[in-house]
A and B are shown apart, each in its own frame.
Chain A
Amino acid sequence: MLGLFDNRGRAMSTSGLQKLAFFLLVAVTLYVAFTGGGA
């Protein structure tokens, strides 16, 4: 799913973790942009 999981029995691959972190980074940035810094 979205390349988050690998096929070697690991729940999450390194690149999957990177993708998740990147997704969160975008989400946090948009949150800050649209709420004006959580005000």
Chain B
Amino acid sequence: MSQRFGRRYSPTPVPGDKPKLKPFHGKTRARAGARVNILFLLPFPFLIGAFFGSPAALALKLITAGLIFLAAWLTREGVLAEEAFEARSVAKRPALPRKFLGSVAMGAGLGLAGLAAGSVFNGLIFLGLGFALHTLSFGVDPMRDKTSASADDLQSERVAKAVDKAEQHLKELTEAIERTKDRPLEMRVETFKNTARQMFRTVEQDPRDLVAARRYLGVYLLGAKDAAIKYSELAVRGPQPQARADFDALLTDLEINFAQKTETLLADDRTALDVEIEVLRDRLDRERL
């Protein structure tokens, strides 16, 4: 029969009809964009030019092209690593300073091309220019670990490790589902990942939550990953509507549980904030003579 229209965009939404997180929620444009892509084009003039000279020049120019490719690749990895570092509130600095190594490779490549012309001085100039300009354009790698303000280094490290592991589970889960080539299910997994990541961020902001959330970051995600792998093994053989429905239901259950747990963690944090405010206001009250 007739039903009152009331959904996401209507002024009076149906009670309990919570808007779902979009798959793109909380994501930003990747910064490894045009500039990094242009870096990958730079070796080509060297590659082509290499074949119009002496054998020695050929070898040097090919090595130059290789070094610039290496620089481009290292820079891309460095920019991606920096982005992952910035997205988290507790993170270890990247183990390898990739952008710095990219600058070194760039300088070395250009310096070698200068040497190919037979002048050490030119080589040194291009080495310096390549290194300096590359460093200026892409910046330096994150140097220090990011730790939470409310926890010591050991606790922060524990959180970073747990989140790393959880992210690894999510990655393997995604890869398994990608193998099924089931676009709607992939989107479903993306929304689940958003929910899970909200919990990661909550734990990172207050590492004391780790004890309460450990089962979620470990056992449940591991289980979800194993289920996804099993399901994808079945699904690549042919359509499995029952298994798909079961897996979908599992994701829904997990999502609800993760969201509720995150809510409780946040509620704890809010209680801590309330206590803090209360104590401070009490003290201020007493000051008022």
Contact = CB atoms under 8 A, between A and B. Distances in A.
Contacts of B122: 37-39
B129 to A, nearest CB: 5
B153 to A, nearest CB: 30
A36 B45 contact: no
Contacts of A2: none
B71 to A, nearest CB: 10
A34 to B, nearest CB: 7
Contacts of A36: 49, 53, 57, 113, 116-117
A33 B113 contact: yes
B42 A26 contact: yes
B116 to A, nearest CB: 5
A37 B133 contact: no
Contact of A28 (B38, B123, B130, B139): B130
A21 B132 CA distance: 9
Contacts of A19: 137
Given A28-B110, A28-B133, A32-B126, A22 B45 contact: no
B73 interface: no
A26 B116 CA distance: 19
A24 B129 CA distance: 9
A21 B133 contact: yes
B247 interface: no
Interface residues of B, number: 30
B257 interface: no
B36 to A, nearest CB: 10
Contacts of A29: 42, 45, 68, 110, 130
Nearest to B46: A33
Interface residues of A, number: 19
Interface in A1-39: 17-19, 21-22, 24-26, 28-30, 32-39
B45 A28 contact: no
A18 B137 contact: yes
Nearest to B57: A36
Given A32-B126, A36-B49, A25 B118 contact: no
Interface in B131-160: 133-134, 136-139
Contact of B137 (A22, A34, A38): A22
B266 to A, nearest CB: 34
A32 B119 contact: no
B114 A26 contact: no
B46 A37 contact: no
Interface of B: 35, 38, 42, 45-46, 49, 53, 57, 68, 106, 110, 113-119, 122-123, 125-126, 129-130, 133-134, 136-139
Given A22-B138, A36-B49, 17 more contacts: A17-B136, A18-B137, A18-B138, A21-B137, A22-B38, A22-B137, A24-B133, A25-B106, A25-B137, A26-B38, A28-B110, A29-B68, A34-B45, A37-B114, A37-B115, A37-B122, A38-B119
